[in-house]
Amino acid sequence: MKIPTRVKLSNKYAAEWRPSRLGASFAKSTARIRMLVWGIKGGKSRRGAWELVKAGLGTPGGVCWAVAPTYNHLKVAEREVVMILRMIEESIGIDLTMRRHRARHEIDLVNGCVLEFQSAENPDSLRGPNLDAVWIDEASWIRDEAWHIIRGRVAATEGEIWITTTPRGRNWVWEEAQRAGMPGSADYGEWETVEVNPEDPTRPMHRWISHRPTWSFPWVPRAEIDDARKSMPKMIFDQEYGAAFLAESASVFRRIEESLSLERPKEGGVDLVTVMGCDLAKHQDFTALNVMDPTGRELWVDRWNDVDWAVQRPRIIEASKKWNSVIVLDASNVGSVIIEDLREAGCEVFGVDLNNASLKLELIQALQVAFERSNLKLIDHRAEHATPAVKARFDELKWYEHKLTRTGKVSYSAPRGLHDDCVVALALANWGRVRGYAGSIEPASVEVGRAEYETRDQHVVGRRRRSGLPSSVFNNRRSRIFGDEGLGGRPFWG
């Protein structure tokens, strides 16, 4: 069946779809393994979906797969394939889809070919019969083990593989890009290689790759790219928009070495108000404290693993008074009791609920920006006055990493088996500093991510007011508002 290369549609699906020049070169390649390593919004997923549909319609009775890192990514891939099928059906006036199994994520074509959509979250689930073609979307987020299994699924059939992704460090996608001819400098362009098999010279392995940044595609407004460049950490921008294979991508923070200082901080008794990030121990973790002045200079780092609150409490209070600090505390697992205990001891406490994923993302990205802009001056772990806690903090910064969650979002954490307490304490301190609490502009006692009020008095009054409310009202977080306290009745959780 001849598939049109250009399809003009009604507004029901799209105004018009035409493969771009860069996408057309991908379609013309005869390589068995073809790779699009492009920046975001380049149209790589649609290009991969088009190739999958073309392979399915050209392989009667075959089996073709679309593989994605998570089910959220899989829904995007499936939606693209369905849209393209409808586009072609409308253009040629023939039904190409016999049935669609939504629960099994399968599409049966009229020629007997089955298009299956598979998640790579569990690599072992990818084992099974041979395949005629595979499209891997967002391949950089798929583990090496899954790639090796997928690669073996087309070995017997000599089926094609299409890889569409933005980079994520220098993992297996980087290795395949090198084998496809991309130079070690990771320049932009297109390359092609033919790798001869000594055991069977008649069956060479043919690879092709296109490596392009987002600004190569005219439909992405330049103003959007420039705005992203200014607002995003450089590492994330280079990776997402610049399609850069970053050697440091496994580490969340760049320019750590440039932020280190051998200068000995002033010992206690500071005149200005400082901010102290505090991450309390949970189970096997450590309690970590990080004190920072309004300019971003790190004054003190401490870390211990005495989980008993009776032991931790006096150390935190003493440190707060010694450094004249406002405490920014991770309140995600300690509740309001410990916060009230510290307030009664005379400490100003700003509770942050890090169970709120978007808030934790904000904290970590604010720390990334601070490193990028050289706004921090941390104690050098090689200095004579460096403590074991300082050395632990440096190691945690180097090993800290980002991962893709099951819902397709980015999360930050330490690698399995390691700790991130010092990183969280540093991020809390930096966040409080950026928000002005190191300057003691206002009493810092609100709990972010929880329905509390801005000052201690408002906190108490609010508790009295809500005691008379029906639980069905108060327990609905959308109904919690700031009333006449000067915040205009806006929903807090908005």
If asked whether residues 296 and 193 sit together in one domain, one would say no
If asked whether residues 172 and 313 sit together in one domain, one would say no
300 Cβ partners below 8 Å, 6+ apart?
265, 289, 290, 291, 319, 323
Instruction: Give me the pLDDT at residue 310, please.
Output: 83
pLDDT in tens, 176-232: 999 998 988 888 999 999 887 766 677 778 999 999 999 999 888 999 999 988 888
pLDDT in tens, 31-55: 999 999 999 988 899 999 999 999 9
Q: Which of 216, 245, 266 is the last residue of a domain?
A: 216
Give a yes or no: residue 337 inside a domain.
Answer: yes
Instruction: Give me the pLDDT at residue 87, please.
Output: 87
Residue with tokens 């060479």: 204
> Which CATH number is 18's domain given?
3.40.50.300
pLDDT at 1 over 60: no
Instruction: Work out how many domains the chain is built from and give that number.
Output: 2
pLDDT in tens, 417-458: 668 899 999 999 999 999 887 654 333 334 455 433 333 344
If asked whether residues 291 and 340 sit together in one domain, one would say yes
Distances 224 to 40, 214, 237, 401 between C-alpha atoms, Å: 12, 11, 12, 27
Which of 424-461 are b and which e, b meaning 16 or more Cβ less than 10 Å from the residue's Cβ?
Answer: bbbbbbbbbbbbebbebeebbbbbbbbbbbbebebbee
**Residue numbers of the domain that contains 158:** 7-216
If asked whether residues 120 and 262 sit together in one domain, one would say no
pLDDT in tens, 66-121: 999 888 888 889 999 999 999 888 888 888 888 899 888 999 999 999 999 999 98
Give a yes or no: residue 174 inside a domain.
Answer: yes
If asked whether residues 207 and 114 sit together in one domain, one would say yes
> Which CATH number is 368's domain given?
3.30.420.240
* Beta-sheet pairing, 325-330 with 349-352: parallel
If asked whether residues 210 and 269 sit together in one domain, one would say no
If asked whether residues 321 and 442 sit together in one domain, one would say yes
Answer for the pair 284, 251: CB distance below 8 angstroms, yes or no.
no
Q: What percent of the chain has pLDDT over 90?
A: 36
Taking each helix axis as running N to C, give the angle between helix 421-434 and helix 357-372, from 0 to 180 degrees, rounded to the nearest 10.
80
465 pLDDT band, cuts 50/70/90, is: very low
DSSP 477: G
Give a yes or no: residue 327 inside a domain.
Answer: yes
